[in-house]
Each structure stands twice: as structure tokens, then as C-alpha cells.
């Protein structure tokens, strides 16, 4: 988590509106798309316009997702794979840019103009180079079919969501979708399937096994099911935990991609999973120290020197912008930071700045482990129905205010009140010696020895729960699969 910045979505709307005015984009015309062969009536963005949008948004997106992952070998490898696929796409003239983002979220997306992004979380999940190439090929497909440009054009024309405002953010959008992972959720089912089809075409041209599209989507499905299980959600809600939640169901995409892959010839490149695993050996797993650490139901920030707990049954998610905790009943805890206006008390900030467009009830000044704080509550309408909001602002130092937003469905507010109050009062300064003892987690490749089992290797993983499920998902193992001597597998180490 880093200090609050304007959202990519808001900045994108502004830049596209300015671009539309400056270049007269709303002209008519009919363009034949080179990737799909379809006519596009009234194409709004030229390729030069798309490149301008991508260049403008690239630095904002990088900041939004925790910066670039600073491992030149990993970044160079991803670029090498991406360029090999891109030069065989339907638009080889585009100068594609491939960026690895320093985020543990399993994610990939594209911006207009040839900007393609994958997270280190996705690299950790993939099992071989062909699976990585399949992800890059899919995103290249979005660009060659101009899906990215079409979506951003719509974003530029859409008004800001209506509803009560909390410091510039629509209360109706205060949900897990505000996590940066949701930034990529905007393609239609048809566009996603079209990008799969184009991606498989490009994979085959580059000599990769097109079936890798299917096997990676299966990994995504397994990851979503694991996340759902760790949240206490039933298996049929697993898609809610995937970054493809608003896209076609992952299982459906697996089936469709496998069918397409079966229609293509034999690949020219061997899978060589061990080569890929050696490439990502030592990659960060989970949180970066600069963004703080999730440890079970505790969040600790060794750089900013604070910590807090969330109730049992909530699962914590960390991002560059905010920390999010949620439980299976759709209760949420959002935690972020804001700059304190000079000379303003934390109570005045709560009422006059943060919740200026809301009518808070029960406002009061409180003390939280030596820090001045203020709180109040209200009820708002969201895209998921009515929600009770409890806001807590904490003055950490002269310049910084930390903020809790507790969001509960009204029938759960009373029953969760005590647990969420305990979370509020769990916020405290993190001593320097405790901060110094915290270490990031990394992936390590180990060779299976005689006598090693899934149970024995997974039991040593430094994760709070679901160790065997984490090990199986990382290594693409089914529930009944076992490992074999001399096999190279992923483990997590401190």
C-alpha cells in the first residue's frame, strides 16, 4: 500500500476527452480491421491516437500496480517472449511494450498502442513458457482487434458514476472491484473469446503449443477455486475470485480454447517447464516490503511502521493503493491513506473533506493507541444494495491520515460491530525491531527427492492456511496428483 493517488480510470477519462477534442476523433468512416477482417463503422481512434493514449496512461498504470518489477532478467525474458509472438501478429508494425508489474495479483491486461502488462503474480502461477506466451498472445489479440481502444473510447464518453461521494470516489463502487485488478474488467464475452482465438493463432505461428492457452486458463480456474475456498465461499462462486470475473466463465474459456487448439498443427517449440521455472527462481511471492505484508489476518508495514488486524473470517488483499479485507457475507474493510491538510484536525478532515458529500451520524473524536482519530457512520446505496459505512480517520503524523472504511450489509452491521471495533483499536505503531525482522516471501525451485510428497513439501510453506492447496495450485497439480523424484517444483520460502 502506498499513499492515495487519483485513479487510473479518472485520469484515463480526462486524457481521452482531451484527445477527442484536440484531434476531432468523433468523425465517421469505415475501417477494415486487419486481425478480424470486420468492418468498423465510425472508427474513433487512429493507431497514432491509440499510441498517444497508451504512452499517456503507461506511467499511471505502473504506479497503480506497485511499479515495475525490478528484475532485469525477468523483465528481459518476458519482453523476449512477447516480441516473438507480437512480430507474428496481424499488426507487426506496432512497437509493442511488455511490462512486468510488481504486484502479487494474478493479472494481465493491455492498453491501446501496444502496451501489454503481466504481474509477477501471474509469472509465479504459469508453469512453462508456452503458458506465459499464451497470456501475452491473448493481450496482443485485444490490441490487434482494437478491443482496448474501443473500451477506452467508451470510458471517455461515460459520465462519472452517480451516487454519494466519499472524497471523490463513488460510494456505489465501494466494493472489491475498486482493487486495481478490476481495472482490466471491461471486455465483452465476445471480445474475450475473440482475443482467445487470435491469441491461439499467434501462438501457433510462433511455434508454441496452442493448448497452453487451455492449460493456463485451467490454472486460473484452480487459483480462483483456491481463493474461494480460503474465503469460505462455495465452489460455484469461484469465478468471483478471479480477475476474469466479469468475463466468460474460466471453465467455459478452457473448453473453448481447447477445442480451438485441437484444430491446429503440432508445435515446433518444446514446453521445457524446467527452463521456465529456472527463469522465475527467486521471484517475489506475495507482498513487496515497500507495500507492506499480509500475514494471516494481520497487515504490517515495515517501511511506514504501522500494523492492524481484521476479524477472523476476513481475507486480506494488499495493493499499491489500498488494503482490502472481505468475508463471505460481503462485508468489507478498506484501508488507505490521505494527506492531512495543514493545520486541520482529524475530526474536521473526516467531516469536511473525506465525507463532505455524506451526512454522517454519530460523529465523535476518539483515541487509538495514542493517535488522535475521529469516526462516524452513514447508510448509502451501492450497486450491491444498501450498505452501512463506518468511517474512521486516524492522524498518524503531521502529514498523514490513515483511513478505515467498514462496509457491511445492514443485516450484519450489529453482529459485526464488536469485531470491527476491535480492528479499529488494533491499529498501532510497529516497533523498529519488529519491522526489521519481517522478510518478503519468494518462490524457490526445488528438485523432488525420494520420499518427498505433496504433503511433506507443502507442510513447510510459510502461509497461514491452505498450504497443500497453495502448493498444488502453484505446481498445476490436481487434487489426486502426486510428485515424482527429480521433478522440479515451486515452493515458497522466507
> For residue 236, what pLDDT is reported?
61
Give the containing element (helix H, strand E) for 371: strand 371-382
What's the chain's average pLDDT?
A: 84
| C-alpha cell of residue 183 | 481495472
Domain final residue pick, 239, 264, 285: 285
Does residue 70 sit in the same domain as residue 174? yes
Query: Using alpha carbons only, how large is the chain's radius of gyration in Å?
Result: 23
CATH of the domain at 474: 3.10.350
Residue 302: count of CB within 10 angstroms of its CB: 20
Alpha carbons within 13 A on the beta-carbon side of 431: 3
Give the tens place of pLDDT for each residue, 414-430.
999 999 999 999 999 99
**pLDDT-derived band of residue 7, with 50, 70 and 90 as boundaries?**
very low
Structural domain boundaries, residue 64: 8-285
Distance CA(471)–CA(468), nearest Å, equals 5
CATH of the domain at 338: 3.40.1000.10
Does residue 112 sit in the same domain as residue 250? yes
Please check whether residue 1 lies inside any domain of the structure: no
Does residue 85 sit in the same domain as residue 197? yes
Distance CA(130)–CA(137), nearest Å, equals 10
Output the pTM of the full model.
0.80
Please check whether residue 3 lies inside any domain of the structure: no
Nearest residue to 331 (alpha-carbon basis) of 232, 217, 229, 426: 232
Q: Which pairing describes strands 441-447 and 488-493: parallel, antiparallel, or unpaired?
A: antiparallel
Does residue 335 sit in the same domain as residue 418? yes
Question: Across residues 234-257, what is the average pLDDT?
Answer: 61
Residue 224: count of CB within 10 angstroms of its CB: 26
- Count of domains for the chain: 3
Question: Above 90 in pLDDT, residue 87?
Answer: yes
Does residue 189 sit in the same domain as residue 310? no
Does residue 312 sit in the same domain as residue 260? no
Q: Is residue 446 within 8 Å of 454, Cβ to Cβ?
A: no
Distance CA(256)–CA(190), nearest Å, equals 12
**pLDDT-derived band of residue 271, with 50, 70 and 90 as boundaries?**
confident
Does residue 39 sit in the same domain as residue 134? yes
Give the tens place of pLDDT for each residue, 75-84.
999 999 999 9
Give the tens place of pLDDT for each residue, 436-468.
999 999 999 999 999 999 999 999 999 888 999
**pLDDT-derived band of residue 153, with 50, 70 and 90 as boundaries?**
low
Does residue 334 sit in the same domain as residue 254? no
Amino acid at each position: 500500500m502506498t499513499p492515495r493517488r487519483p485513479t487510473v480510470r479518472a485520469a484515463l477519462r480526462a486524457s481521452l476527452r482531451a484527445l477527442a477534442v484536440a484531434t476531432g476523433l468523433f468523425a465517421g468512416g469505415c475501417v477494415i480491421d486487419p486481425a478480424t477482417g470486420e468492418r468498423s463503422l465510425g472508427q474513433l481512434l487512429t493507431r497514432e491516437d491509440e499510441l498517444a493514449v497508451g504512452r499517456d496512461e503507461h506511467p499511471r498504470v505502473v504506479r497503480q500496480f506497485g511499479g515495475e518489477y525490478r528484475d532485469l532478467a525477468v523483465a528481459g525474458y518476458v519482453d523476449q517472449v512477447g516480441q516473438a509472438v507480437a512480430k507474428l501478429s496481424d499488426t507487426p508494425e506496432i512497437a509493442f511494450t511488455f511490462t512486468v508489474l510488481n504486484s502479487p495479483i494474478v493479472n494481465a491486461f493491455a492498453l491501446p498502442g501496444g502496451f501489454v502488462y503481466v504481474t509477477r503474480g501471474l509469472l509465479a502461477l504459469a508453469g512453462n513458457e508456452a503458458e506465459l506466451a499464451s497470456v501475452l498472445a491473448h493481450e496482443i489479440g485485444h490490441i490487434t482487434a482494437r478491443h482496448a481502444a474501443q473500451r477506452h473510447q467508451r470510458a471517455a464518453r461515460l459520465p462519472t458514476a452517480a451516487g454519494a461521494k466519499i472524497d471523490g470516489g463513488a460510494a456505489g463502487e465501494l466494493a472489491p472491484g475498486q482493487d486495481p485488478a478490476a481495472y482490466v474488467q471491461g471486455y465483452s464475452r465476445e471480445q474475450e473469446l475473440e482475443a482467445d482465438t487470435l491469441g491461439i493463432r499467434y501462438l501457433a505461428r510462433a511455434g508454441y503449443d496452442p493448448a497452453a492457452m487451455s492449460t493456463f486458463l485451467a490454472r486460473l480456474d484452480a487459483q480462483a477455486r483456491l481463493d474461494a475456498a480460503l474465503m469460505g465461499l462455495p465452489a460455484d462462486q469461484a469465478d468471483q475470485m478471479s480477475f476474469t470475473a466479469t468475463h466468460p466463465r474460466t471453465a467455459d474459456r478452457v473448453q473453448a480454447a481447447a477445442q480451438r487448439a485441437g484444430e491446429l498443427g503440432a508445435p515446433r517449440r518444446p514446453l521445457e517447464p524446467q527452463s521456465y521455472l529456472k527463469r522465475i527462481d527467486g521471484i517475489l511471492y506475495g507482498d513487496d516490503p515497500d507495500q507492506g505484508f499480509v500475514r494471516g489476518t494481520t497487515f504490517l508495514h515495515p517501511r511506514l511502521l504501522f500494523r492492524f488486524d481484521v476479524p477472523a473470517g476476513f481475507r486480506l488483499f494488499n495493493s499499491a493503493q489500498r488494503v482490502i479485507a472481505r468475508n463471505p457475507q460481503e462485508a468489507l474493510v478498506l484501508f488507505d491513506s490521505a494527506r492531512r491538510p495543514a493545520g486541520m484536525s482529524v475530526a474536521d478532515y473526516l467531516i469536511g473533506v473525506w465525507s463532505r458529500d455524506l451526512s454522517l451520524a454519530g460523529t465523535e473524536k476518539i483515541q487509538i493507541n495514542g493517535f488522535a482519530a475521529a469516526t462516524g457512520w452513514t447508510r448509502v446505496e451501492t450497486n450491491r444494495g444498501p450498505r452501512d459505512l463506518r468511517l474512521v480517520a486516524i492522524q498518524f503524523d503531521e502529514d498523514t491520515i490513515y483511513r478505515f472504511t467498514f462496509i457491511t450489509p445492514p443485516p450484519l452491521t450489529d453482529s459485526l460491530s464488536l469485531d470491527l471495533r476491535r480492528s479499529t483499536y488494533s491499529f498501532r505503531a510497529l516497533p523498529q525491531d519488529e519491522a526489521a525482522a519481517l522478510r518478503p516471501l519468494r518462490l524457490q525451485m526445488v528438485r523432488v527427492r525420494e520420499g518427498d510428497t505433496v504433503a511433506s513439501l507443502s507442510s513447510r510453506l510459510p502461509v497461514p492456511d491452505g498450504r497443500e492447496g497453495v502448493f498444488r495450485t502453484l505446481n498445476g497439480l490436481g487434487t489426486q496428483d502426486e510428485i515424482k523424484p527429480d521433478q522440479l517444483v515451486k515452493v515458497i520460502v522466507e
